[in-house]
Structure formats: structure tokens, C-alpha cells
Structure 1
Amino acid sequence: MTKRKKELLKEYIPGWSLPPLIAILAVNCLIYWGSSALTAGRYHYDFTTAFDRAVPLLPVFVWFYILAFPFWAAGYVLAARRGKDLFYRFVATDLTIHFICFICFILIPTTNIRPEIAGNTISEKILLLVYSLDGGSSPSNLFPSIHCYVSWMCWRGVAGSEKVPKWYQKFSLVFAVLIIISTQVLKQHYIVDAIAALVLVEVFWRFYQSGQRHNWVYRIFDRGKKNQTL
């Protein structure tokens, strides 16, 4: 790798951001699959409302749903460009919400009834694949929606940043909204799942943006070295 490439890599993914980024990914996997294993066989609640039943199935939105994954990776990496302190506030928000999701998944296991899909179009076939990889006929871990909350975090993480282009900040907001809509029109989540996810982000984003409530992140990842920046 050339010196220039190393400098670019360091600029976009500073070394101090790697441990928390890896931790977030690991925590997400442990919480999602771990809670599913712990609640297997238990009664799962269905929070379907009249509003949810009125929402049409739109398989074409599956593309926004699956493109959420690279969008998340880019959003979380770009959040680190705001500098260590703001990024650690971002990390504190994310890990706190992940913990709350785990508690909800354990205490209130949720599921829904997925629609029958003919599977004739490419979008329908991809949606059937998504269903099969995500619980099949017995989905779980719906409330709150991790898909919605992580997408909203991606916008929150770059909004107002001087080191992220304005066009991307606007794109991030629009794409996050499209992903949230996709969870509804694909019948992956219901409206209460999305609302709960957005409320959690807004509450804890504000909670950690003032004071020093995020200091525990420094103690975990930085051994108290608060003055290091990009």
C-alpha cells in the first residue's frame, strides 16, 4: 500500500475508531442472534395495527432494504470524521440503544405474519430470500427496529459535520427515510417498531450531546486519553 493510500485510509478510518466500530458490529450480532436463541419457543407478541394492515406490500423497496447494509458501514465510518469526542458520543448513543433493544427483545419477544409472495419478479424473489434469511415464517426481534434505528443513526452521525459533504448529508437523510419506509412496505416491521427506534435515537442522541455522560466510552476504548483528535 502506497503512502498516499495509507494517509487516505487513516483520514477516513482513524485507528482509534476501529475498536468501537468493531465492538458495535459484534454487539449487534450478539444481541440479534443471541436474543433470538434465548427467546426461541417463547410466546411472541404481534403488534400489528389497522394502520399496518392498510400499508401496501411494495416488493421493489427491497433494494433500499438490502442497500441499508453498505449505507450503515459508510455512515458509521463517516461519523468518525467528526473527531474523537463527537464520535464517542455517537458510540455511546449506539451502544445504549443496542442494550435497550436487547432488553426489549428478551422481555417482549415480537413477531409478525408475513404475506404470501408469488416470487415472479426479481424484487419479489429477492424479498423471499430476505424473508428466508431473516426468520422465515417466524421473524423475531422486531420491536424496536434495529434496521430503522441504525439508519437514522447514520444520518445523525453526519448531519452538521464540516468534514462530510453537504450533498451526502442530504442524501443520508433521504436514504434513511427510504430504508425506514422499506421496513413498512416490505412487512418486515410495523409502525410501532419504527417509531420506537426513532424515539430512542432522538432521546439518547440529545442525552449524550451535552455534559460528560459519554465518558464511559473513553474508559472502555481510550483509557481516559480524551485529548487525542483526528
Structure 2
Amino acid sequence: MVYQKARERRRFLLKLLEKCKKWISVWEILPLLSILAVNCLVYWGSSVLTADRYHFDFTFAFDRAVPLIPEFVWIYILAFPFWAVNYVLAAQRGKKTFYRFVATDLLVHLMCFIIFMAVPTTNIRPALAGDTLSERVLSLVYIMDGGNMPSNLLPSIHCYVSWLCWRGLKGAREIPVWYQRFSLVFAGLIIISTQVLKQHYIVDAIAAVILVEAAWRFFAKESRYQKIMDMFEYWNRKIWKEKMGDN
């Protein structure tokens, strides 16, 4: 009975995936879910593990000079659907480039975790004096993201994921040039939003971009991400079996 129910659930899932196949291939799902899981573990896990430790504040004169612009909170929030779309689009370049993208993301996540654990960081958020809609939403963002004691600032995950969203599409023949340009501009706006919302400071953004560029270049050789690709392909075939394709 248990085995039969498991087969029914699997059959239902496969039918659902057939409907979604127009937008996302079966072989993309496991890597993307793995990235999401790793992100949650790195961000919240390191927060818990460093909760009782001293947190450094790398505020520079430049950061103090940057004004608070609450209206950028909408750009900050729109980063989430932007990430989802671009991570799916990254697979349109084919498996090899997609797994280079996945390997880059996972390596940067690992580096973030190491830095979060080695050098816990925080900042002092400004008081929101006004009562505009943007300020109310920003206040909610602050509450959901650590309240008066934010952590995991260096490097900025918001900045690194946004930059990778552009890097993963740059030069792709499968992606329209206008959208590649849009991704670069929007990634830049997201990075700016982290600064003018006082979510991050300049060193956090710079470190994020450097990590992405370094990891992307490191995985320029297929042999360096081959094991990651083989691992996901193995489990994809185990899970999806006949639904696996080559594209």
C-alpha cells in the first residue's frame, strides 16, 4: 500500500512536470532545489552558529555618506523573482554551461559560509522617521532580516546572487541581448539598493562581485565542475528515469 501511494505521488509529480516542461526541464529541478536548500542552510545556519559571538561592523566613511533612499526597497524585493527567472534561464545555455553556473553558485555559497563563520558582521540600521509606504515596507524588511541585529553581511548574498544572474547569461546566444543588458542594469540596481537601504555596506558588495567573478573563472575548465555535473546527472536519472533528456 505504501509503495503504491509512493508510485501514485511520483506519477502525479511527473504529470505536473510535463505541464511545466515548457518553462523548465526536468534535469534543472534538482540543482535548483539544491541551491535553494544550500542558501537557507548557509544563511540561517551561520546566523544561529554565530549568534553569541562578537560581530564586526565594517562601516567606512563612504557608507556614512550614502543617503537612505527607502523607495529602493521595491528594487530590493523584486530581486527575488529576478533571481528565479534568471536561474531558470541559465539552463537555456545547455547543460555544461548550466552546471558551471551551479558549481559557481555552490562554491560562492561555501565561501560565504566560511566568511560568515570566521568574521561575523553586523551594522547599525537607521531609524525610519517617515510613514510612507516604502518606509513601512522597508521596516518590515528590517524586521524579517535580523531586526536591530542583522548578520551575515560580508559578503552580500543579495549582491552575489544578483551579479551571478547577469554573469550566467552574459554572451548567451540563446538569451536575447536586450535581456542580458537588462539583467546587468537590474543587478546593478539591486546592488545599489543594498547600499541606499543600509542593508549592506560597500565592502559587502565588492566582496560579493569578486567572489562570483573568481569562481566563474575558476570553473571555466569543464574538468573543475565535472564531478558536480556527474553527481546531479546520476541523481536525476535515479529520480526521473525516463523523463530525463539531453537538453
TM-score normalized by the length of structure 1: 0.93
Of 185, 193, 196, which residue of structure 2 is paired with 1:185? 196
Residue equivalent to 2:118: 107
Give the Cα–Cα distance (whole angstroms) in 1 for the partners of residues 176 and 21 of structure 2: 18
1:118 and 2:129 matched = yes
Please list, as runs of the form range in 1=range in 2, the aligned pairs for 1:17-96 lying within 5 A after superposition.
17-96=28-107
Cα deviation, 1:111-165, whole Å, max 9, x if unaligned, reads 0000000241111111000000000000000000000000001011111112212
SS of equivalent residue, structure 1 residue 222: helix
- Do residues 229 (structure 1) and 240 (structure 2) align? no
Q: How does 1:201-220 map to 2 (within 5 A)?
A: 201-220=212-231
1:224/1:211 CA distance change after superposition, 3 Å: farther
Spell out, residue by residue over 1:1-23, the C-alpha distance to the aligned partner (whole angstroms, 9 max, x if none): xxxx9778324311111100000
Partner of 1:175: 186
Assess if the C-alpha contact under 8 Å between 2:128 and 2:135 holds in 1.
yes
| C-alpha contact (below 8 Å) 2:96/2:222 kept by paired residues | no
C-alpha separation between the residues in 1 aligned to 2:235 and 2:48? 36
In structure 2, give the amino acid aligned to 1:132: I
CA contact (8 A) 2:87 2:165 kept: yes
Alpha-carbon distance in 1 for matches of 2:97, 2:246:
10
Equivalent residue for 1:142?
153
Q: 1:46 to 1:222 in 2, by over 3 A?
A: same
Distance 1:16 1:179, change over 3 A: same
Identity %: 65
- Unaligned segments of structure 1, at least 5 residues: none
Matches of 2:148 and 2:235, distance apart in 1: 47
The Cα offsets for residues 172-222 of structure 1, whole Å up to 9 and x where unpaired, read as 110000000000000000000000000001111111122410012123201
The secondary structure found in structure 2 opposite 1:70 is helix
Q: Structure 1 CA distance, aligned partners of 2:124 and 2:158?
A: 18
> 1:12–1:81: 8 Å Cα contact kept in structure 2?
no
CA gap 1:82/1:11 in 2 versus in 1, 3 angstroms? farther
Contact 1:101 1:144 (8 Å CA) reproduced? yes
Q: Secondary structure at the match of 1:109?
A: coil
Distance 1:151 1:102 in 2: 18
Instruction: Kindly tell me the number of residue pairs found equivalent between the two proteins.
Output: 225
Q: Is the 8 A contact 1:218 1:224 kept in 2?
A: no
Distance in 2 (alpha carbons) for counterparts of 1:192 and 1:159: 24
Partners in 2 of 1:42 and 1:59 — Cα distance?
A: 30
Amino acid corresponding to residue 12 of structure 1 in structure 2: W
Greater mean deviation of Cα atoms: 181-190 or 214-223: 214-223
Report the TM-score when normalising by structure 2: 0.87
Higher mean Cα deviation, 216-225 or 84-93?
Answer: 216-225
Specify every segment of 5 or more residues in structure 2 that has no aligned partner in the other structure, as ranges: 1-15, 237-244
